[in-house]
Amino acid sequence: YQAKQEGRNDYRLFSREMNHQQHKLLAMETALRNAVETGEGLAVFYQPQVNRTDRTLAGAEALARWHHPAFGHVSPAEFIPLAERAGLIVPLGMSLLHNVAAQQRHWLDQGLLPVPVSVNLSTQQFWQHNLLVQFRHLLMEHRLPAGLIGIELTENVLLDKPVQAIPLLDGLRELGFTIAIDDFGTGYSSLSYLQDLPIDTLKIDRSFIQRLGESRSSNAILAAVTGLARELEYKIVAEGVETEAQMQALAPYPVDLIQGFLTGRPVPAETFAREWLDSIKQ
């Protein structure tokens, strides 16, 4: 009887804890909704992508940041899934995209030599019915030349409905956007499926870089993936390179670009411009 009683109390405690969690999530959702409406606390950071050989700047990835007075800095790994569940990802994604486009326009107007910036697109964003119209308007509204904005999609976005995805990818590329497959190797796609996709870039997931040199099989996978990507003439980005040792270990593979803490962390737009962007030579 005693044990049962304790069990019940545990359950009540647990249930109160659950309530607390749910309450926090709900409060966070409300706060995020507010942030999306006002733009307050939302920002875009830029992480450089450098050429492997000389580490000069080749591009950047735009990464969302959210700071809230009560919740502090919330990781995108937390608030992006929250936005997806709360039906906020489409307006949030659109506002981030316009933020990046306006920033590129601003850098051009300042006489800075811009580099392509790639933006992450969630599944729900990619499958919007008027995706191509919105992306065409984005370029027109900010008077951006083609090629300054890239799109990153995970394999899973495309794997859902590959047949429907291909014309959309073609449409985006015709508008001048480049397409990268993000986190490659973490999804379920097979190598053979790669050859059917109209894409420009393959981003090798950080987990492969971390395992480099650890086992013969992980090296073999990396060799196969980069070999095929090279064959298909995709640009290859290695993500999450943190050490010179990893950089060394990558040497045998045909990697074009490096994106990682070793060569540059994500930083605010002003810092990125100051530290990385050159002026257009007259």
C-alpha to C-alpha distance for 16 and 6, rounded to whole angstroms: 15
180 membership: H or E segment, kind and range:
strand 178-184
- What SS3 state is found at 44? strand
Closest approach, Cβ 154 to ligand C2E, in A, equals 7
Verify binding: residue 77, ligand C2E, rule CB under 6 A.
yes
Please answer whether residues 236 and 223 qualify as being in contact, where contact means their C-beta atoms are separated by less than 8 angstroms.
Answer: no
C-alpha to C-alpha distance for 82 and 79, rounded to whole angstroms: 5
With 0-12 CB in 10 A as exposed, 13-18 as middle and 19+ as buried, what is 274?
exposed
Secondary structure percentages of the chain, helix, strand, coil, to 5? 50, 20, 30
Q: Which two tokens stand for residue 5?
A: 């009683």
Closest approach, Cβ 260 to Ca ion, in A, equals 11
Q: Which of 48, 59, 114, 240 binds ligand C2E (CB under 6 A)?
A: 240
Verify binding: residue 14, ligand C2E, rule CB under 6 A.
no
Residues in region 19-48 near ligand C2E by CB under 6 A? 47
Q: Which of 29, 84, 183, 242 binds Ca ion (CB under 5 A)?
A: 183
Verify binding: residue 100, ligand C2E, rule CB under 6 A.
no
Please answer whether residues 187 and 159 qualify as being in contact, where contact means their C-beta atoms are separated by less than 8 angstroms.
Answer: yes
Closest approach, Cβ 119 to Ca ion, in A, equals 9
Tell me whether residue 10 or residue 267 sits nearer to ligand C2E (CB atom): 267
Residue 114 pairs in a beta bridge with none
* Binding residues with Ca ion: total (CB under 5 A): 5
Q: Which of 48, 86, 125, 152 binds Ca ion (CB under 5 A)?
A: 152
C-alpha to C-alpha distance for 101 and 82, rounded to whole angstroms: 24
Verify binding: residue 59, ligand C2E, rule CB under 6 A.
no
- Residue 277 carries which DSSP code? P
Residues in region 140-179 near ligand C2E by CB under 6 A? none
Verify binding: residue 80, ligand C2E, rule CB under 6 A.
yes
- The site for ligand C2E (CB under 6 A) is made up of 47, 63-64, 75-77, 80, 93, 96, 120, 122, 182-183, 240-242, 259-261, 266
Residues that bind Ca ion (CB under 5 A): 120, 152, 182-183, 239
